[in-house]
Structure 1
Amino acid sequence: MVGESSSVPVYPPIPVPDVPGADATARGLPRRQDLTWKQKVIVDGSAVADIGLRTAIASIVGTAMLPTIAGALLRPEDSRAERDALRFYAELGAARDPALSFPAPSEPPRVASRPANPVAEWLAHGSVHDIRFRSSFEAVNPAVRERRRGYERNNVVHAQHWRHDDGPHPTLCLIHGFMGSAYLFNGLFFSLPWFYRSGYDVLLYTLPFHGRRAEKHSPFSGYGFFADGFAGFAESMAQAVHDFRSVLDYLEYTGVDRIALTGMSLGGYTSALIAGVDDRIQAVIPNVPVVTPESQFDEWFPANLLVKLGNRIAGTDPELSSAAARYHSPLNYPPLVPKDRRLIITGLGDRLAPPEQAEALWRHWDRCAFHWFPGNHILHVSQPDYLRRMTRFLRGFMFE
């Protein structure tokens, strides 16, 4: 079945120019002079467009950071707590021990399932259920546990599961990007019906503080990721990993024995981190991932100004901040997925998650398979090309 469907043309919902990318060479990504003139035009144009997107998202992130900065200004004890948190995560990161940093769930989740809306079933042309369960996550840092327990909506995990009627199939799991949690959008953007027709079951996982997990009165999906300062972001990443491991427990309980994981942007960051924590993943494909988000804030106007202001108010040591950020970076942990089952995808015109970020992950992952396209963070030029690349990459061990 997968062999037949993989040869069928893929037509993404957003028409994009048919200017193909390619796999990286042993040296890494191509230099500008290595590109064709068409590729140069697409890369340059999409890079300019991405700067506008980056500014818009940085403004939204900055909005989420304002309460923390105001608290540090008005309450000096908040600054002390933030510095204590940085030291806590820096010590964890220095240990480079995924079992210590990201403890496994102690028991399988009690999952509730109900049929999804008719639009989801129409999109998949199959059986689709929305699942949810109570998160068993406890904050890694004891100092913030009480506050994290109080996020009632966030502590209910949500996902959408596309299943075939003839029993569990190899499953492709997708983790969305920042603010991009809508199942319909992700199903269309990543041509998930095509993978479903190819024989995969599909699971779309909702990150903490996104979609139905957003707390009441959140101004936008994903707001909570940045609303509690550095500790809040670190714990959100820890919970993203923990809750997805509970999803893996659920999939195993239902009989799934082969699981591939992909994710875009923040989802790419999360999927790369999970690949260094849990060895049950058969394949991992981070798409336009960020791997050192703290380094990107220097270019994210106006969020970069707020970060500098917050650091100045709190008296944050930049070296301590960088050390703490290693706690949740996939570059801090060796991958548990075998090299021949790692594939990284990046856009040369991406300025929100610059290709240098993906290249850093590629080097850390022993120069594994690496594919680039001449587009940006959202405009994935020649996307059908990399979707077919993903299918060829997965076929050998997902349907053996």
Structure 2
Amino acid sequence: MSPVLPPEIVTPRRRPAQLRPAAPWWRNLDPEFPAWKVVNHMDRFTRLRLQTSSLTDLGLRAGIIAATTALSLPWSLRPDTLLRDRKERGFYHDLATAGDAHAFFQKPKPGIRVRVRHSGPLAHQPKDGQSYLLSFRSPFEAVNPRVREDYHRHDNNEIAWAQYWKHGDKPRPTIAVIHGFIMDSYWVNSKFFALEWFYEQGYDVLLYTLPFHGYRQGLLSPFSGHGYFSHGPLHMNEVHAHAIHDFRVFLDWLLSHGVPSVGVTGISMGGYATALLASVEERLAFAIPVVPPASLVDMVFEWPVLGHLIRSALATAGISIQEARHTLAVNSPLTWQLAIPKERVLLIGGMDDRITFTKHTMLLWEHWDRPAVHWFPGGHVLHWGQGDYLKAMRRFLDGIGFKP
């Protein structure tokens, strides 16, 4: 399915790459995984395009690092947060070790009322249908009872939001899209994923907003998504449980209103949420993660400045990379098995991703027993040949019978 040769891994001291570590992965994945390098085989023109995309990735990464270091990390490293997290991390260790995804990603209660209103004039207005804004007050409760009060202090985050494009005649197979970190704009995501084109092919579309983004961010939030990482690692676990819970409420609503089938795709952190949904929601028609990370600990360890600060803080506390992985393992797709057949999964990876990193896509691909994968000559932001993988997505949807 790939139009180019897949990337290869080079490890320090040229040791064989174990991209499918023995369970549990958090203990047996090489501690030097953040130092593994990716080698690509390509012509000169493709290499030049990758260099351009790499510079764009590095610029965006520098901005994320600066904002996170200045505005999020100090909150995460507060003494009371560190003390609470040290006491409570065993709760999440036990859930990850038990291996039951449904114990952490709990099923929503039935009968949650979803409010439906017409989208504003600036939203996409399909010619042969309607654009709606969906919302509901989320009944989600933090999985760990000891962090519930702290987690639910954020009032705006208690309301879940999505934009829904629906054809006028009848409910259609629906493509659900999950945005990346910070990039929550419905307009930007609709253009990036060519959703108007998919809509014209006959699909309905749902654009889902992650917790602490868009309408869900706090009034004093310095940027959309600030609350995702700014309250410590245990809070981060609960954010992902919350994201999956609220998406499943919208999924329940769609299916209860006659939608014949729903699949999900997402980019970056949205790809990560897509991978988690594929691990817990068997009703999905498909899952297409685009440039997803596989382990947040390993991803951030490779970022300059921020990775060094976090490494130093963990070393000072006597916490190894294996223990840090274990603490966040409940929110990693590497911890869980697929809930849908691998034939309904398509991974899309950038050959020179410098933000979530190419090797994470490769690691997830191996963990899922090598489902379909499409490599494009680009990085995290600039997706050269994006039209090729959008067409590959359409061929994949046709191939699994997901048709209007």
TM-score using structure 2 length: 0.88
Residue in 2 that maps onto 1:331: 334
Distance 1:349 1:386 in 2: 16
TM-aligned CA distance change 1:360 to 1:399, over 3 Å: same
- Flag structure 2 segments of 5+ consecutive residues without an equivalent: 11-37
- In the TM superposition, what is the alpha-carbon distance from 1:57 to its structure 2 partner? 1.1
Residue in 1 that maps onto 2:207: 204
Q: Cα deviations across residues 248-294 of structure 1 (Å, max 9, x unaligned)? A: 11111111121110000000000001100110101000001011111
- In the TM superposition, what is the alpha-carbon distance from 1:53 to its structure 2 partner? 1.6
SS at match of 2:123: helix
Instruction: Say whether 1:239 aligns with 2:242.
Output: yes
TM-aligned CA distance change 1:253 to 1:83, over 3 Å: same
SS at match of 1:305: helix
8 Å Cα contact 1:108/1:249 also seen in 2:
no
After TM superposition, the structure 1 stretch with the greater mean CA deviation from structure 2, 101-110 or 226-235, is 101-110
Instruction: Say whether 1:173 aligns with 2:176.
Output: yes
Q: Cα deviations across residues 4-34 of structure 1 (Å, max 9, x unaligned)? A: xxxxxxxxxxxxxxxx9626669899x8563
Among residues 268, 271, 275, which one is paired with 1:272 in the alignment?
A: 275
TM-score using structure 1 length: 0.89
SS at match of 1:278: coil
Distance 1:181 1:57 in 2: 15
8 Å Cα contact 2:75/2:232 also seen in 1:
no
Distance 2:370 2:122 in 1: 41
After TM superposition, the structure 1 stretch with the greater mean CA deviation from structure 2, 333-342 or 118-127, is 118-127
SS at match of 1:50: helix
8 Å Cα contact 1:82/1:314 also seen in 2:
no
TM-aligned CA distance change 1:84 to 1:33, over 3 Å: closer
Among residues 337, 343, 356, which one is paired with 1:353 in the alignment?
A: 356
Instruction: Say whether 1:64 aligns with 2:72.
Output: yes
Describe how 1:221-240 pairs up with structure 2 within 5 A.
221-240=224-243
SS at match of 1:398: coil
- In the TM superposition, what is the alpha-carbon distance from 1:112 to its structure 2 partner? 0.8
Describe how 1:182-197 pairs up with structure 2 within 5 A.
182-197=185-200
Distance 1:314 1:216 in 2: 33
Instruction: Say whether 1:45 aligns with 2:52.
Output: yes
After TM superposition, the structure 1 stretch with the greater mean CA deviation from structure 2, 31-40 or 354-363, is 31-40
Residue in 1 that maps onto 2:15: none
Residue in 2 that maps onto 1:301: 304
Which structure ranks higher in relative contact order (CA pairs < 8 Å, sequence separation ≥ 6)?
Answer: 1
- In the TM superposition, what is the alpha-carbon distance from 1:309 to its structure 2 partner? 4.5
Distance 2:283 2:295 in 1: 25
- In the TM superposition, what is the alpha-carbon distance from 1:247 to its structure 2 partner? 1.0
**What letter matches 2:54 in structure 1?**
A
**What letter matches 1:39 in structure 2?**
T
Tell me the matched-pair count.
Answer: 375
TM-aligned CA distance change 1:272 to 1:150, over 3 Å: same
Among residues 394, 397, 400, which one is paired with 2:397 in the alignment?
A: 394
- In the TM superposition, what is the alpha-carbon distance from 1:389 to its structure 2 partner? 0.4
8 Å Cα contact 1:135/1:243 also seen in 2:
yes
8 Å Cα contact 1:343/1:371 also seen in 2:
yes
Distance 1:312 1:249 in 2: 44
Instruction: Say whether 1:114 aligns with 2:122.
Output: no
Name the % identity. 38
**What letter matches 1:68 in structure 2?**
S
Note the aligned Cα RMSD (angstroms).
Answer: 2.2
Q: Cα deviations across residues 309-367 of structure 1 (Å, max 9, x unaligned)? A: 44356554443211122111111111112121110001112100111000111111111
Distance 2:158 2:365 in 1: 33
- Flag structure 1 segments of 5+ consecutive residues without an equivalent: 1-19
